């Protein structure tokens, strides 16, 4: 298998050379600590999962699904044999019980103390909004990654989900968020900022929660700050005047939560390559805050573990240069050799944030994963 694995430093230059040389479908990931390259920073926190900062490969088999058609592309195998294997595979996968002992990196009181410290940074003018995350983990657990992903997908089906394995490291992803999509000369980003709990047992209350989210000045202010940040990032690689907000404050409903999602699009300048777009916009604004450079420093100071692949991106680039990448959130990360399992959640902190409510939002976002892991 043709592949590229890099640490932050010259990773994006090597990625550019690799994609040009292969001129093929390539799949892979960008881990959060590529920020050390894009923003000239460093990191000292512990990474327990140890995905590389960048990994891409040319797959031997590609299967594309649509409502009516299965397309199978391959180098050497017989496509009909692969199709038969798919059609003869078990129709239902059995879920296996997982009894994780989930621990927190922050107690509730410790978390609230940090949020108040971050609000002092905001008061001093260091930043406007910061996405602060905390880790939940089990450091002695064995799971079956595929059946666990199956359980997670049933509990929390989402449009940017993925099962991803790199040797002994696994990403079980149930992400609702798109980082970037390129179609021809158009580029799209769809940041999520704004969360409200669903009430599936009471339809009227659920509709009311959706309305409260859309009208919340706090959630809207978080969202518009990220929209401005994304517009600024995309303007570096797009034609002047072409970066537009296609949808502002759209409310979308997922199994556990309602989310506030905005869509920003732009027309790329001539000669812009995928690597140029990544350099201009990574890490994504929804997982950092504004201004980006300063909040990256504060994240490094106040969070207790490396994010690793969490709040990075997973996706593909086509032979024509089009691509689609998600934001790695609502995800289980697992190192089977170390028997270490991790998932992180965060929220956007502003001066007007209520620390207790922000802590509850983190628990709400972790709800589906915790249910899968603890029953």
Is 177 tagged catalytic?
A: yes
Of the candidates 283, 300, 297, 187, the one whose C-alpha atom is nearest the C-alpha of residue 226 is: 283
The two structure tokens encoding residue 272: 């812009």
- 365 alpha-carbon distance from chain centroid: 13
The two structure tokens encoding residue 201: 């047992």
DSSP string computed for 33-47: GGHHHHTT----S--
214 contact partners, CB below 8 Å, separation of at least 6: 220, 249, 251, 260
74 exposed, middle or buried (CB, 10 Å; 0-12, 13-18, 19+)?
A: middle
Place of tokens 């158009």: 186
Is 193 tagged catalytic?
A: yes
DSSP string computed for 117-153: HHHHHHHTTS-SEEEEEEEEEESS----HHHHHHHHH
One of 35, 182, 193, 306 is an active-site residue; which one?
Answer: 193
Residues in the chain: 375
One of 37, 177, 222, 361 is an active-site residue; which one?
Answer: 177
Catalytic residue positions? 177, 193
């Amino acid at each position: 298998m043709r592949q590229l694995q890099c640490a932050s430093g010259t990773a994006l230059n090597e990625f550019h050379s690799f994609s040009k040389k292969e001129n093929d479908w390539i799949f892979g990931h960008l881990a959060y600590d590529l920020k050390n390259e894009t923003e000239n920073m460093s990191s000292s926190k512990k990474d327990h999962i140890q995905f590389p900062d960048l990994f891409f490969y040319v797959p031997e088999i590609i299967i594309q699904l649509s409502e009516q058609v299965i397309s199978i592309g391959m180098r050497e195998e017989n496509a009909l044999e692969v199709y038969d294997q798919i059609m003869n595979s078990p129709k239902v996968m059995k879920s296996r019980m997982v009894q994780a002992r989930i621990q927190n990196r922050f107690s509730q009181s410790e978390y609230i103390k940090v949020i108040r410290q971050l609000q002092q940074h905001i008061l001093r003018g260091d930043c406007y909004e910061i996405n602060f995350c905390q880790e939940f983990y089990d450091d002695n657990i064995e799971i079956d990654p595929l059946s666990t992903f199956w359980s997670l997908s049933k509990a929390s089906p989402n449009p940017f989900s993925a099962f991803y394995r790199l040797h002994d490291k696994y990403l079980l992803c149930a992400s609702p968020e798109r980082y970037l999509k390129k179609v021809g000369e158009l580029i799209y980003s769809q940041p999520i900022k704004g969360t409200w709990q669903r009430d599936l047992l009471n339809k009227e209350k659920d509709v009311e929660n959706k309305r409260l989210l859309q009208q919340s000045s706090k959630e809207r202010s978080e969202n518009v700050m990220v929209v401005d940040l994304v517009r600024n990032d995309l303007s570096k690689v797009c034609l002047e005047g072409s970066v537009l907000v296609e949808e502002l404050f759209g409310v979308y409903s997922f199994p556990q939560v309602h989310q506030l999602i905005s869509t920003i699009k732009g027309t790329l300048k001539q000669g812009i390559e995928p690597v140029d777009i990544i350099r201009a916009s990574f890490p994504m604004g929804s997982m950092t805050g504004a201004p980006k450079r300063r909040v990256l420093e504060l994240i490094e100071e106040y969070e207790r573990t490396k994010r690793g692949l969490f709040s990075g991106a997973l996706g593909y680039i086509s032979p024509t240069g089009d691509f689609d990448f998600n934001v790695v959130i609502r995800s289980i990360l697992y190192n089977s050799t170390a028997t270490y399992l991790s998932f992180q959640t965060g929220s956007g902190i502003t001066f007007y944030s209520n620390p207790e409510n922000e802590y509850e939002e983190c628990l709400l976002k972790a709800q589906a994963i915790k249910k899968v892991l603890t029953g």
